[in-house]
Amino acid sequence: MKNSRFVSRASTGVAFTALGLFLSTACGDSTSDEGATPSGSAGTTTTGSLQPGAAGASSNGSAGGTNEGAPIVVALDPERDTTVPVNLAETGAVACGGGGDFCVGSNPTCCIAAGTGGGGMNDNTFSCAASTADCPANTVSSASCASQLSCDTGQVCCRVANGAPGAGGPGGGNNGTTSTCEASCAAGAAQLCVDDAECGAGNVCNNNNVCAPPPCTADSCGAGEVCCRGMGGGGAAAPACAVPEADGLCPAGRLEVCTDATTCPADNTCSPLFGGGFGNGGGGALVCTPPPCTPTSCATGEVCCVGGAVGGNPTCAAASDTGECNGNSRLVCITDAECAPSAGTACLLAPNGGGSLSCRVPPPPPASDAGVVDVADAG
C-alpha cells in the first residue's frame, strides 16, 4: 500500500509563491535539483529533475540534449510534512527515461524511442512532448500520465500494451505501452496510481504502482477458493484467490499460501518459498511445499521436475506428450539415462554446483589448444 499524498498537483506553468518548488534543467541531465528552503517555507530537497520538454537523452540518465527547459514551478501543500522528501510522481509529473527526469507543464508526455546502438534499454532515447501524437515517429512507448494526479477531475490513468484493443498509441505490435487519461480503464488495461484512494473499493495500489486486488492470505478467500502464489519470476506476482483443481491443489502448478501445515495437503510442509517472500506484498508468506520427489516417486502421467513454474523444490508435475517437464522446468535425474526424453541433455548440477541434479544442456567444450606445443612432448 502507498503512503498518503503530501504534495499537490503540478502546475502547468503558473508561478507560485515561496511555497512552491522551482526547477529548471536540460532534459537528460541526471543531476539532482534542490528546491529552495527559506525559513518557514515548505520547500525541500527533491531528487531528479523536472523536464518541461527539451531534447532527448539515453534512458540511463546520461545527457543527450542541450536544450534548456522553460522554468517550471510545482505547488507544494503548505500542510505537508516537510521532513518527507518531495515525490515528484505525487505532483502528477511523469517519470521519463529512468534517470530521475520528469515531463510536466506544457509537455507532459514522455516519449521513449528505440535506439540503434544494440545496447537494449540503455540505448533507448526519451523526450517530452505535448501529447502522444506529438512524439517522434520512432516512439515505441509513451506516457501522458502516471496516476490520477496527472489527469483532469473524473479521469484515471490507464496503460495498455501497444497493439492491444483500444491502445491507439505508437509502435503497434511491439512490446511498448501507451498511458493516457480516460474516464475509465478498458478491459485489459492497467490503472496506474500512487496511493490506494484512487483505486476504488476492493483494490490497492501495489508495489508496481498499479491498482489491483490486495494480496490474499491463507484465510481471506471465499468459499470454494484457495490463496495461490502468483506466477512469474520467483513469486513476483501477488498471491491471489483461485478455484482449486479437482485434486484440491492450486491451478497451473501454483503453490497454496498457508499459515501452518494443517491447511496443506498431506505430507506437505508450510515453508517459505525459496526462503524468501513475494515481490508484491507477500512479506515472507509461507506456501504449502510438497516433499521433494525422485525420478521414480511420481504417479503415472507425472514426472519429477525442478525449476521454472514448479520452483526450486523437486515437484511432481504433469508430463508433456514426450515425457518431459512442461514449460521451462527440467527433469530431475540421478543418471544420464533419465534424461532421454530431453534430447541433448545430461544429468548435471547447476553451474554453481547447487540444487538438485537435473537434465541440463552440457556446457560447450573448452576452446581448442590447436597449434600450442607442449614443451615436454616436443622432446
Of all residues in the chain, what percent carry a pLDDT higher than 70? 65
User: Where is pLDDT greater, at 316 or 25?
Assistant: 316
By the 10 Å C-beta count (0-12 exposed, 13-18 middle, 19+ buried), 17 is classed as: exposed
- Other Cβ atoms less than 10 A from the Cβ of 282: the count is 23
In this prediction, residue 66 carries a pLDDT of 30
For residue 73, list its beta bridge partners. Answer: 22
Say which range, 48-62, 172-186, 237-251, has the weakest mean pLDDT: 48-62
Instruction: Assess whether 85 and 196 both reside in one domain.
Output: yes
Instruction: Assess whether 112 and 171 both reside in one domain.
Output: yes
In this prediction, residue 67 carries a pLDDT of 33
pLDDT of 344 strictly over 70:
yes
Residue 369 lies in a domain: no
pLDDT of 319 strictly over 60:
yes
Residue 12 lies in a domain: no
CA 87 to CA 93: how far, in whole Å?
A: 9
Question: C-alpha angle 334/336/340, rounded to 5°?
Answer: 115
Of all residues in the chain, what percent carry a pLDDT higher than 90? 27
* pLDDT bucket at 79, cuts 50 / 70 / 90: confident
Q: What is the mean pLDDT of residues 150-166?
A: 84
Contact predicate 226/242, CB 8 Å: yes
Residue 221 lies in a domain: yes
Say which range, 48-62, 169-183, 192-206, 290-304, has the weakest mean pLDDT: 48-62
Single-letter amino acid, residue 71: P
* pLDDT bucket at 76, cuts 50 / 70 / 90: low
Which pTM does this prediction carry?
0.56
Instruction: Assess whether 46 and 146 both reside in one domain.
Output: yes
Instruction: Assess whether 241 and 264 both reside in one domain.
Output: yes
In this prediction, residue 23 carries a pLDDT of 45
* pLDDT bucket at 325, cuts 50 / 70 / 90: very high
User: Where is pLDDT greater, at 23 or 271?
Assistant: 271
Instruction: Assess whether 25 and 100 both reside in one domain.
Output: yes
* Boundaries of domain holding 118: 20-211
Instruction: Assess whether 149 and 203 both reside in one domain.
Output: yes
Domain count, the chain: 3
The total number of residues written for the chain in this structure: 379
Instruction: Assess whether 157 and 240 both reside in one domain.
Output: no
pLDDT tens column, 193-224: 999 999 988 889 988 899 988 888 888 888 99
* Residue at which a domain ends, from 194, 211, 228: 211
* SS3 call for 26: strand
CA 15 to CA 26: how far, in whole Å?
A: 19
Query: How do beta strands 49-51 and 101-103 pair?
Result: parallel
Instruction: Assess whether 56 and 154 both reside in one domain.
Output: yes
> What are the Cα distances from residue 329, in Å, to 167, 171, 239, 306?
34, 33, 21, 6
pLDDT of 289 strictly over 60:
yes
* SS3 call for 351: coil
pLDDT of 301 strictly over 60:
yes
Residue with cell 474516464: 183
Q: What is the mean pLDDT of residues 10-29?
A: 37
Say which range, 10-14, 106-110, 281-285, has the weakest mean pLDDT: 10-14
Instruction: Assess whether 56 and 186 both reside in one domain.
Output: yes
* Residue at which a domain ends, from 178, 211, 244: 211
In this prediction, residue 291 carries a pLDDT of 87
Cell of 192: 496506474
Q: What is the dihedral of CA 40, 42, 48, 49, to 10 degrees?
A: -90
Element (H, E) at 102: strand 101-103
pLDDT of 8 strictly over 50:
no
User: Where is pLDDT greater, at 24 or 247?
Assistant: 247
CA 117 to CA 137: how far, in whole Å?
A: 18
Residue 367 lies in a domain: no
pLDDT of 137 strictly over 80:
yes
User: Where is pLDDT greater, at 73 or 116?
Assistant: 73
Our measurement of the distance from residue 23's CA atom to the centroid of its chain's CA atoms, rounded to an integer in Å, reads 29
In this prediction, residue 198 carries a pLDDT of 92
Residue 118 lies in a domain: yes
Residue 343 gets which letter from DSSP? T
CA 146 to CA 191: how far, in whole Å?
A: 9
Residue 296 lies in a domain: no
In this prediction, residue 247 carries a pLDDT of 82
User: Where is pLDDT greater, at 169 or 261?
Assistant: 261
Cell of 275: 526462503
User: Where is pLDDT greater, at 267 or 190?
Assistant: 190
Cell of 262: 494443517
In this prediction, residue 236 carries a pLDDT of 52
Instruction: Assess whether 335 and 270 both reside in one domain.
Output: no
Instruction: Assess whether 95 and 236 both reside in one domain.
Output: no
Closest CA to 95 of 63, 149, 50: 50
Residue 332 lies in a domain: yes
Say which range, 166-180, 253-267, 291-305, 311-325, has the weakest mean pLDDT: 166-180
Mean of all residue pLDDT scores within the chain: 73
* Residue at which a domain ends, from 211, 234, 260: 211
Contact predicate 32/48, CB 8 Å: yes
pLDDT tens column, 40-69: 223 333 334 444 444 444 333 333 333 334
Q: How many distinct helices (H) and strands (E) make up the chain?
A: 1, 24
**DSSP structure string for 138-156:** TEEEEES-SSGGGS-TT-E
Residue 187 lies in a domain: yes
Instruction: Assess whether 259 and 317 both reside in one domain.
Output: no
**Four-residue CA torsion sign, 208, 211, 213, 217:** positive
